[in-house]
Structure 1
Amino acid sequence: MAHAIDMSAIEQALNGFTIPPQPEILQHIQQQLDAPEPNIKRIAALINLDIGIAGFTLKVVNSSFFGLRQKITSVEHACKFLGVSRVLKLVRSVLLRFTLAEGRDDRFSLKLWSSALQTANIAMTLAKHFNFAQDIQDDCYSLGLFHNAGIALIHQQTSQYEQIMQRGLLAQQGYSEIEEQHFHTCHEVLGFLIAESWGLTPQLCNVIAYHHSPALMLESDSELEKQLFALLKLAEHFSGESRQLFDINLDPEWEQFKSPMLEVLEIELLQLPELAELLHRQHISTVYSV
């Protein structure tokens, strides 16, 4: 395990920030899942209470990742197809997107969620290709969506976030260094708190907390944490995350640590174009598309 989060520093990091609580709909779905015999119809009805959540659920299940021959047109059918535990993970991710983006339709917020969705799809598709268990595939999707959730909170406090980060990254500062200097917190800590409060696994929370600390994560005693971390960083690389968010082509973390991260996944640098082609066949764009 990477070093435990210093909870004494959390209160300082949270100054001025409010972690979005789990919405009531998610709590009701969790109650259904905890029941001896979860009621699929009830779960579908809960999802259908919000047209945005219902629509997004159908969009995900009809994505190329699942490779369905016929489109699923009802949430109830989607729940039966996915299974109740996967529905909870999916809805949790969907609700996070709507909760943190509520009332915000500015350009950077749209870029942030577009980037998160792309990273999530890439991470999940790669996990499937590497024959990871279904639970890990689902966790990779959640990791892709949640890993930058803390950025949304900081951006809510200042419209200058994108410009400040761009200048700092071009000056070869690290993410946390820039954020601590200007905002007295960092998106890794905020993301950890969001993930923890929304019930993600300890491994996912830990990876989110340290996803800009490659040296620490690669020394983790948990093989699962290292695999999740390596998959996330590979997905970030394929998506061109720094270019999407801040219009820069620098990715010093990848350049410095790509060899040990790829070693965790037991692949070589020469295989990346082949993996990119796999993603393209799934209609997922990558930096190799350009």
Structure 2
Amino acid sequence: MKKVSFAEFGGPEVLHLIDAEEPHPAPGEIRIAVRAAGVNPVDWRVREGQVLGAHPIELPSGVGLDASGVVDEVGEGVDGIEVGDRVFGEGSSTYAEFSVLSAWARMPEGLTFEEAAGYPSVVETALRVIREAGVRSGQTLLVSGASGGVGSAVLQIARDRGIKVIGTAGAANQDYLRSMGAVATTYGEGWVERVRELGRVDAALDLAGSGVIRGLVELTGDARKVISIADLDAPRFGVRFSGVAGSVPEALAEAVGLISRGKLHIPVEKSYGLAEAAAAHIDSQAGHTRGRRVLVV
């Protein structure tokens, strides 16, 4: 089978499409014929060797956590899923023609494989950081870097829970944020004052790692009310860096419910072929994403 792999840490140029042996599921796992794989910032952070504590790997290594596809092998002890089922979920080395998943759910009706591949990690992350921020119905959550995949999920989940959201993004994404139910403003010089004029901030999320931690702490008045998933220096300011996933099966179940109720939709901004994985990483690292990027197999 074809698989994206890297044999050394480095830039996107270390990614190569290679011929590899097909994986097979261990007990409690399933294998899918991959139709699409989600491209997440953690993928290029792993490729660069940034997050080895949370994601230890051995080289050479495959790439990717999220995927959608058709079940073609079921591991021992797995019930409720059959060969031929359309699923999306989280596993390992998902930039490939076949991948083993450790957490999955059946795809909701009406969702394409490309769309489905964009949900697993971002929904788990969105649910986790909202919970860790401790924000409740009637309160206001500030989301810095709100137009990407996690931001798109946060805005919609928060709206469904009665939480007001102020989102920052580039000028081109202001209408996009408003369509997700957020009060939108731009980042850049003067952003703290622009947010302050919009009202009280009860908690804040840093989703882009663009040097905003001090401002978020200033706006909330308490570093414990700020959560970052993107700035590895956040703990120096007393801010929690959230990098350890919670229950992916629970997150997928909640995602299915939200999607089925029409409360969650994360658009795919751009699709790439497996051979274009390096280009997908370059675009992901550049930021300014609206929704998700996926590889199509």
Normalising by structure 2, what TM-score? 0.25
Which has the larger share of strand? 2
Which has the larger share of helix? 1
